[in-house]
Amino acid sequence: MNSTELFLAVDGGNSKTDVVLADTDGRVHGFVRGPGSSPQTLGVEAAVKLVDGLVAAALRAAEMPPTVPVARAEVYLSGVDLPLEVEVAAAAIAATGWAQSYRVDNDTFALMRAGTDSPDAVAVVCGAGINCVGRAADGRTARFPALGMIAGDWGGGQHLASLAMWHAARGEDGRGPATALVEAVAAHFGRDTVLEVISGVHLGELPAARLDSLSEVLFAVAAAGDAVARRVVARQASEITAMATVAADRLGLRDLPYEVVLGGGVLRAGHALLNDAIYEGVKAHSSAARLAVVAAPPVVGAGLFALDALGATSAAAAGLRAALATARPQLT
């Protein structure tokens, strides 16, 4: 790298998309945020069109023309899980003409890079859903299909919320064990019974979308000592531990001091019952592993990947991290 070059960093999640226009000195010129752009939800064509509009908005925010040379675009999208999905998305994005070179992959890789500089690392995201990827210093990667129950996945905020509702319903009508989730779920919706919640959602009197917020109810009830809720949290911890340790074993990292990066809303919430159990499980498998919950947004990782690819300095990487730690995206 002989002179300062521009790059694009994109993190396209299920609920939001961040696009950053920055340079190889670590300076941020444009930072915009828009709706989710997962190709799994929108389809590839619609997802790329959405990101294309955000790229244009980032250039406008930087007061740069659409024709300004951009050396690199690092694009990480939710729902791009299978190799074929990566290939199709990469071809569609390369056809946009945003940059001179591109890399496209799953957004969990961006989370990983945001959380560590180590070449040996595993990342697990537990937000609305759950996913895990890993990488080794020799370039090998590990990943899972992350396609839900058909792919063997278990957990994530939406799944945990549905289990809170399921156990509350069964606890109230007697099909399942007694649980404090009964009272907590009814109170969460301002109802006297879980049956009233069920009827309200079924008849459209209560928004079904509010069911997703029950994951926090589950954790609160578990923290208060409820056995049913604690079993669900323990299962989630074991699933996250299994993903991380299986990925590490695939890459031959078990006895190395590799990094485990944890992210997503469920893990960032800092629930001690969950996070402590993951720590203990991973350390029992890999005593030299180092675990951390990443606070930086995944778009930071996309930007760091761009700096890596363009041969930028460590000072530039530190500058980019610092700039994005305080930057506020322009909402579109």
Per residue in 115-136, pLDDT (tens digit) is: 999 999 999 999 999 999 999 9
The CA-atom distances, in angstroms, between 219 and each of 21, 160, 247 are 38, 9, 27
Per-residue model confidence as pLDDT tens digits over 153-173: 999 999 999 999 999 999 999
Q: How far apart are CA 107 and CA 126, in angstroms?
A: 12
Percentage of the chain beyond pLDDT 70 is 99
Domains in the chain: ranges and CATH:
6-117+296-331 (3.30.420.40)
**Res 2: pLDDT:** 60
For β-strands 28-35 and 16-23, DSSP reports them as antiparallel
What average pLDDT does the segment 303-325 reach?
A: 97
**CA 160 to centroid of chain Cα atoms:** 16
Query: What would the pLDDT profile of 109-120 be if each residue is shown by its tens digit?
Result: 999 999 999 999
For residue range 58-71, what is the model confidence (pLDDT) as tens digits?
A: 999 999 999 999 99
DSSP string, 282-331: HHHH-TT-EEEE--S-HHHHHHHHHHHHTT--HHHHHHHHHHHHH--PEE
pLDDT above 70: residue 1:
no
Taking each helix axis from N to C terminus, what angle separates 214-223 and 181-188, rounded to the nearest 10 degrees? 140
Q: What percent of the chain has pLDDT over 90?
A: 98
Query: Residue 70: CA atoms inside 13 Å, Cβ hemisphere, count?
Result: 28
**Position 247 pLDDT exceeds 60:** yes
